[in-house]
Every structure is written in C-alpha cells, then in structure tokens.
Structure 1
C-alpha cells in the first residue's frame, strides 16, 4: 500500500475581502478539489494550527470548516493523528456533483447580468469563450 500525500496549507486560497465567510471558502475549495480529483482519499489534511498560521486566520475558523467537511463525509477524524480525506462509499453522479458546485458562482453571474441588463446570448457567448480559453 502506498503512502498518501500530506497536503499543505497551499490547498486553500482565501479572499479576505470576499462577502463569503472564510470557513465557507475553505469548505467549497476542498469540495471542488476532492470531486475534481486533485485531492485523494487517504490524503492527510494539514493541522488546524498549520492552516490557521499559514492563512493568518483564527483556528476556530479552520476547525469549523473541517467539522463541516467531516459532517458531509468528506473528511474523517483520526484520534491523535488529525484529519484525512474520506473514502467515498456512496454511489453518486460525480459530474453532476462537480457541476452543482458551480451553481453559486453562476447565480452571482446571472444576477449581475440581469442588473446590467445584458442579453442572455451575449453572456453565454462570453462564458463559452472563457471556457474555451481555460
């Protein structure tokens, strides 16, 4: 059995000026990385203390994010050893789950497009161009 990676604090990119709370940013980023295959089952999460220090946030913020991910079944607590990424035992449509993670961002884009009175076709064309460049 191969040893899984110990993840670093760099897995999180926090936007401090965002209206989205820091713990929620962490939760959503980790969900995307797990569902997107960048982070794998068995990978060891950095400690709460390391993440808090590396990001310059309160340890309770990190603890809250980890607890939410644990309650969602994405992380598992190992007593005395920290958190690891959980094995996924349930069957679900991963593509649909990954797509659903985009919903909040797309809803914000939709609202902004409505506020700016932009034509749907123009917004969709811009999104298509952005996706083709990515």
Structure 2
C-alpha cells in the first residue's frame, strides 16, 4: 500500500483514511490484511502518529477496519468491497460535480469532457 498526503488538500487524517479505503476498493488491500502500525505509517508519511490514529479511528467508525487489542489494525474480513467502491465513486462524483458547477458548466459539458478524457491516448 502506497499512500500520499498533500498538506494543501484538506485534513491529512481524512486523506489517509480515503487512501486506505481506495486501496481496499481497488484490491491492493485484501479483507483481513494487517495495516502498518500507526507509528510506522506516520514515519513513512512524515506526519504525527496522532494523525494516523485519527485516520484509523475514522476507518473503524466507517466499518472498514477493526482494531485487535495488542495485535494491530486490520481490514475487516467482512468489509463490503462493492459498497465501498460505490461510496468512493459517489464521493468523487460529488467533488467533480461541485467543480463543474463552480466553473459555471452544465452536466452535458461535464459528460462531454469525461468522454474526451476517456478517448484521449
């Protein structure tokens, strides 16, 4: 699992949580997989360990992970990957739609832009 954070792109703990969720959704993290310790991930990302702990807590509240006392944090074996994938797609769609509206464009123009990008080499 390779995560990246951008201090300019919103709360870092949310970026970490979304990165883990996306890794599960695309199959890079399997249900039952053990996550790195908060300390190890914090060192890798160069963030405060409390930031990673907040991300892990958010993931647990969302039903994606579970903490096993003394063992670490794991992707829940019963996580619904299809539902997770759908939720992430909806979130991305809301962000895209907000950007489209901020530019004063309509859905037809947004759809055409997506088709152009998809067809581009």
Using structure 2 for the length normalisation, give the TM-score.
Answer: 0.82
Give 1:1-134 correspondences, 5 Å limit: 10-18=1-9, 20-88=10-78, 94=82, 97-132=84-119
> 1:21: Cα distance to partner?
0.6
1:115 Cα offset (Å): 2.7
Q: Which runs of 5+ in 1 are unaligned?
A: 1-9
RMSD of the alignment, in Å? 2.3
1:80 and 1:13 map into 2 onto residues whose CA distance is 27
Which deviates more, 32-41 or 124-133? 124-133
Taking a change above 3 Å as real, the CA distance of residues 84 and 115 of structure 1, as seen in their structure-2 partners, is closer
Structure 2 stretches of 5 or more lacking a match? Answer: none
CA distance in 2, matches of 1:110, 1:73: 27
Other structure's SS at 1:53 match: helix
| 3-state secondary structure, aligned to 1:84 | strand
Aligned length, in residue pairs: 121
- Which structure's residues are more often helix, by fraction? 2
Q: What's the counterpart of residue 6 of structure 1?
A: none
The alignment partner of 1:101 has SS state of helix
